[in-house]
Structure 1
Amino acid sequence: MLGASVWGLVWYPMRMLAAMGLSGTAASATTSGAACIFVLLAKRRSLSTLSWHWLLVALGVAAGVTNIGFVWGAIHGQVIRVLLLFYLTPAWTAIFAHFILRERLTRAGATLSLLSLAGAVTMLWSPEIGMPLPADLAEWAGLMGGMGFAMSNVLVVKVTRTLPGMKPEMRTTVIFGGAALLASVVTLFEPMPAPPGAAQLPVVAFIVIGLGIVLAVNNIIVQVRLARVPANRASIIMLFELVVTALSSWLFAGEVPGPRAWAGGACIVVACVLSAWVHRQGVSRSPPAPEPLDITEREPENEKKSTCAMV
């Protein structure tokens, strides 16, 4: 819940940076860079577990798309709509996991993905706009950020299986390092507003460094603690971000979602909750793992002696 709350509030300091003259991509690059440097300094002993693999490059790019889409969309669009589009993750995760992790898409998974997409259609459709597509670049950024987030989640699982010796803090380094590099490249193509004045530079630096440290610590905490929480419970807990975002956008920005946005968001939330329930039912119905046999009890006496001698 702490991790979800942090991400539900992070849009506000990002808007503060934008108001001071730091563009969305520049804010993403600087805060991600600060988070990456902090983890490298605080967990430098874990650097030995970091090894080269093409999956790490893919994870860094996916994390960069996630960060840019979330930050840029939250700065320039209606926060709750951008976040609801961001939380179409179950639909994209089902597709990506099928091709990357070779996980079979069940009927329940396909139905829940369609329910999530139906929520987006309900939220975005209007007679004036016509086609139920995102209305502006900010909403498209939220949609792309959600796709990047789904890809990041799938790639984290893939990296964990492929590189089991890598510690969580090093995955955090790859995530924020990739986000910083990609955002820095995109910044070159984004029109820059008036840069912060000399009087604002200390405040900008304080927000960037402080936010980077908070995000880095939050990411490590979430990675470590979610490993100790059942998957069904974790997915429900992380939905607390929607509640925090809705309240914070109402209090700080005066953004009140309309009935259609609430209905679409409800479909997305229900899809996530039902997905967790289906997962729990599948785990409860699976047969228990057989207990390992003690093969030494069935070995002949001479084989026991030879095995002990070899050890």
Structure 2
Amino acid sequence: MTGSVRNAWPTLAIMLGASVWGLVWYPMRMLAGMGLSGTAASATTSAAACVFVLLAKRRSISTLSWHWLLVALGVAAGVTNIGFVWGAIHGQVMRVLLLFYLTPAWTAIFAHFILKERLTRTDAALSLLSLAGAVTMLWSPELGMPLPDGLAEWAGLMGGMGFAMSNVLVVKVTRTLPAMKPEMRTAVIFGGAALIASVVTLFEPMPAPPAAALLPTLSLIVIGLGVVLAGNNMIVQVGLARVPANRASIIMLFELVVTALSSWLFAGEVPGPREWAGGACIVVACVLSAWVHRQGGQRSPPAPEALDIAEHAPESKKKSTRAMV
């Protein structure tokens, strides 16, 4: 392997992960079209991913120990998962994803209260910038208050808050349980997502059950999607181990490009001027957040942290950990 390829492949691995996450909404809609609800699809694919991780990394199971933080992390991952999947199935994908990407605002707030990190003026300004982007995207004279339009967009917003909480909790877990292997935290995230989605499924009106003839195809998609997501997770973790976290958060914005193209090609969704303007504010907030915290990291020696990125996405301070479906 040449030096240039060796230096480039970690970035390519992260871009591959972002591409998978930017396309995953489509097979989830396929499952919904076959009669598997969003929460049921989230539960089954997350369970498949969790089983795959446990089988592939079974030697690390000994590092999995009980702690209430793992329960909290699993619940946050479940909210993240359900919010994104349900919103992407029932709403306009790009708007749901942009609401999901309000992570810098929520992460700064949660980190202040949970990790006892000081909320600086810069953090507050970047949080306000991302929220201003959301207001720009959501506001219209006809609708009045700039609030999410419909349950799908509320689901995307709640999913983003769950993602921010997951980001903060995974840092707390790495500090509290440093002996736990990253892949076991990944298993906790996927397992928590599966359990929470299963519980929510009990309260969701179920569509007509899938036709018997579709069950083999449906099962194949569920298992295949779970394996792809778990394998993609592991590939991205290897890339993230060789790329600074704040630079990685910018690379992960490639997901927005893939999502915009895939939603246009597969669903005929074209963002309007307000979506572009609001999305630009959110993306700028994410990029500036990464740059500001990279500069801060250069001025002060970094604290040793266990690497744990179960999933992706830009976030304001720490490595990200989204369990996606």
Whether these two folds match at TM > 0.5 is yes
**Pair 1:152–1:287, CA change in 2 (3 A):** closer
Shift of 1:288: 9.8
1:259 is the counterpart of 2:277: no
**2:132 aligned partner, one-letter code:** A
1:168 touches 1:220 (CA, 8 Å); kept in 2?
Answer: no
Q: What is the distance in 2 between the residues matched to 1:56 and 1:287?
A: 28
> Hey, what does 1:307 align to over in structure 2?
none
> Hey, what does 1:70 align to over in structure 2?
84
Shift of 1:272: 0.6
Shift of 1:239: 0.8
Shift of 1:2: 1.3
Q: What is the distance in 1 between the residues matched to 2:182 and 2:234?
A: 7
Q: 1:55 aligns with which of 69, 89, 94?
A: 69
> Hey, what does 2:323 align to over in structure 1?
none
Q: What is the distance in 1 between the residues matched to 2:160 and 2:302?
A: 35
Give the TM-score normalised by structure 2.
0.87
Quick check: which has more Rg, 1 or 2? 1
Q: What is the distance in 1 between the residues matched to 2:99 and 2:77?
A: 17
User: What does 1:125-144 correspond to in 2, within 5 Å?
Assistant: 125-144=139-158
> Hey, what does 2:310 align to over in structure 1?
none
Q: 2:104 aligns with which of 73, 90, 93?
A: 90
Shift of 1:109: 1.0
Q: 1:213 aligns with which of 227, 230, 233?
A: 227
> Hey, what does 1:117 align to over in structure 2?
131
Task: Look up the SS of the partner of 1:21 in the other structure.
Answer: coil
1:201 is the counterpart of 2:215: yes
> Hey, what does 2:259 align to over in structure 1?
245
**Pair 1:227–1:160, CA change in 2 (3 A):** farther
> Hey, what does 1:167 align to over in structure 2?
181
Shift of 1:287: 7.1
1:181 is the counterpart of 2:167: no
What do residues 90-139 of structure 1 show as CA deviations (whole Å, max 9, x unaligned)?
00000011111111111111100100000000000011110000010000
Give the TM-score normalised by structure 1.
0.91
What do residues 136-176 of structure 1 show as CA deviations (whole Å, max 9, x unaligned)?
00000000000000011111111111111111110111001
Q: What is the distance in 1 between the residues matched to 2:52 and 2:180?
A: 18
**1:7 aligned partner, one-letter code:** W
> Hey, what does 1:293 align to over in structure 2?
none
What do residues 55-86 of structure 1 show as CA deviations (whole Å, max 9, x unaligned)?
00000000000000000000000000000000
Q: What is the distance in 1 between the residues matched to 2:202 and 2:50?
A: 21
**Pair 1:263–1:288, CA change in 2 (3 A):** closer
Q: What is the distance in 1 between the residues matched to 2:135 and 2:37?
A: 30
- Structure 1: unaligned runs, 5 residues or longer: 290-311
Q: What is the distance in 2 between the residues matched to 1:51 and 1:192?
A: 35
The more displaced of 197-206 and 215-224 is 215-224
Q: What is the aligned residue count?
A: 289
Q: Percent identical across equivalent pairs?
A: 90
Q: 1:23 aligns with which of 27, 30, 37?
A: 37
> Hey, what does 2:60 align to over in structure 1?
46
Q: What is the distance in 1 between the residues matched to 2:105 and 2:242?
A: 25
Task: Look up the SS of the partner of 2:212 in the other structure.
Answer: coil
Task: Look up the SS of the partner of 1:126 in the other structure.
Answer: coil
- Structure 2: unaligned runs, 5 residues or longer: 1-14, 304-325
> Hey, what does 1:299 align to over in structure 2?
none
